[in-house]
Amino acid sequence: MDKRLFIAETPCKRLDVFLSEQTDEFTRSRIKKLIEDGNVTVGGKITQKAGADIKSGDVVELTVPEAVEYAVKAENIPIDIVYQDEDFAIVNKPKGMTVHIGSGVVEGTLVNALLYALDTLSGIGGVLRPGIVHRIDKDTTGLLVVAKNDKAHVSLASQIAEKTCKRTYYALLEGNVKEERGEIVTDIGRHPTDRLKMSVLPFGQGKVAITRFETVVRFGGDFTLCRFELQTGRTHQIRVHAKYMGHPVAGDPVYGFKKQKLPANGQLLHAWKLELTHPTSGQRMTFTAKLPSDFSEILQKLCAKYQVDTSHLTEIL
C-alpha cells in the first residue's frame, strides 16, 4: 500500500484539483474515485468529497491501494490489433463486441480478448476495465486506443479531455442532411423516462456534448453519408446528436426510425480515424480503419443505385 503526504501551500483549492496538481500518475476521475472510496485524509480525517476546500497548511494524505489482480478472465478471441508498442495498442473493434464487462455481460468483451492478446494493460480503469481509455458502442465498429501502462493511460486520457486526440467517424444517416457542415452543441444525459437511453436535455441538466459534422455524399433524399468529429465523449453522442438533427443513424435500433429502410444489423456508424500524440516520444500519429464489409457493401449498392462516383471514397471503402 502506497501512502503519500502533501502540504497545501495555497488556500481555496478543491481537493481533487489539489491532488491532480501533486501527481501526474492519475487521471482526475481516478483521483475522484480514490477520494470517494475513503483513501484520502485532510488533517487526519477521512474526506470523501472531491470538491472539499483545501486551506493553506492542510496536510493531505493519499493512500493508493495495492493493485488488484484482474477480475476478468482472458479469452482467446481473435481481434484486429492495428498497432501496438510498449505504451498502447490500437484495436479495430468489430460489430457486436462489448468493450468491457457490465450490465450482465461477463465474457466475450474486448477486455477479455485484450487480456489474452496483450502482455500488459494499465490498471487505472479498474479491475473490470483494464486499459480502457475510451469506449465505442457494442454495434459501432472501428478504432479505439488501449493503454498498456498507467503513465500512457494518463497521457491518452488527458489528450481526449483536452481535445488533442482527434476521433473521426463515418455514419450513414436517414434522409437528406441539407447543411454542408456544422457543429452541434447540447447537453446530453439519461432520458427522463427511458433510463436505458440517452437524450438531449436542457442546458444545465446534462453534460455538454459537442459534435462537428460534414456532409460527404447525398443519396437522393433517402440517405446521407456524413463524417463526424467528436469534441467530447458522451455516451451514444453521435447517435443522439444524429437523432437531434432529425436524421438518425441508419440501422440504429435505439434512436432510429421504427421502420428501417436498409438490411443493416445495427447502426451504420464506424470509428474511422484516430490522431494522437505518443505518450513517450511525443510523435504525432494517425491510424485509420476502412469500413467493415456490411457497411461497405450497403454504401457501394447505394452508390450504384444513385450513380455516385466512389473515387473520393477510397479512404473508407
Beta bridge partners of 170: 227, 270
Q: Which of 243, 264, 227 is nearest to 174 (CA)?
A: 243
Q: Which of 137, 139, 150, 252 is catalytic?
A: 137
Q: What is the C-alpha separation between 18 and 92, in angstroms, rounded?
A: 37
Grid cell in block for residue 45? 480525517
Alpha carbon 286 to its chain's center: 17
The pair phi, psi for residue 42, each rounded to 5°, is: -125, 120
Task: Determine whether 294 is an active site residue.
Answer: no
Q: Is 249 exposed, middle or buried (0-12, 13-18, 19+ CB in 10 A)?
A: buried
List all residues 6 or more positions away from 188 whose beta carbon is below 8 Å from its beta carbon.
198, 199, 200, 201, 206, 207, 209, 234, 235, 236, 237, 240, 241
The pair phi, psi for residue 158, each rounded to 5°, is: -65, -40
Active site residues: 137
